[in-house]
Amino acid sequence: MTRDAILAAIPHREPFLLVDEIVSRDAERIVCRKTFHAEDWFYQGHYPGQPVTPGVLLCEAAMQAGAILLSSLVDPAEASQKVPVATRMNDVRFKRMVRPGETIEIEVTLKERLAGAFFLEAKVTCQGKVAARLEFACTLADTIAEA
C-alpha cells in the first residue's frame, strides 16, 4: 500500500502520522511498520538523555493501523463523511521500550463487529520482541464540517 493510499484511508497527518508502511492486509488483519527517528518531536522532552518512545504513541500507532484496516469496511459513498475514533482501550501492557532509530511492526486483528462498533486487538513488536499489547474499540463518527 502506497503512502498516498495510507493518507486516503485515515485522516492523520505529520507529525502525528504513525504508520509508514503496510506490510500485509486482508479483511480482518493488517500488519504495518513505523520507524522512529531521533528528530521526532516527542523525544525532546520524554526522558531527555535516555529517549524512549511514549507508550501512548505505540497505542496510537496500533489504532491508526486499525483505522486503515477499518477503512475498507466503510461504504465508499460515506467515506468522506466518517472518521474513525477510539472508544475504548483495554488490557494495555508494555513489555519492551522502543528507542529512536528502531522500527516497530504493528499487527491488528478485527475480533468482532457489532453494528457500528469494531473490537480489535493489537500486538506491537520491535526486533521480534513484544513491545506492547492492547485491545481497543472504534466507531465511525460523523466528520465535523469545516468553518
Say which residue the cell 466503510 belongs to. Answer: 74
Give the integer Cα–Cα distance in Å for 22 and 35. Answer: 12
Residues 6+ apart with CB under 8 A from 144: none
In a 3-state reduction of DSSP, which class is residue 93?
A: strand
46 is catalytic: yes
Catalytic member of 25, 33, 46, 123: 46
- Give the residue numbers marked as catalytic: 46
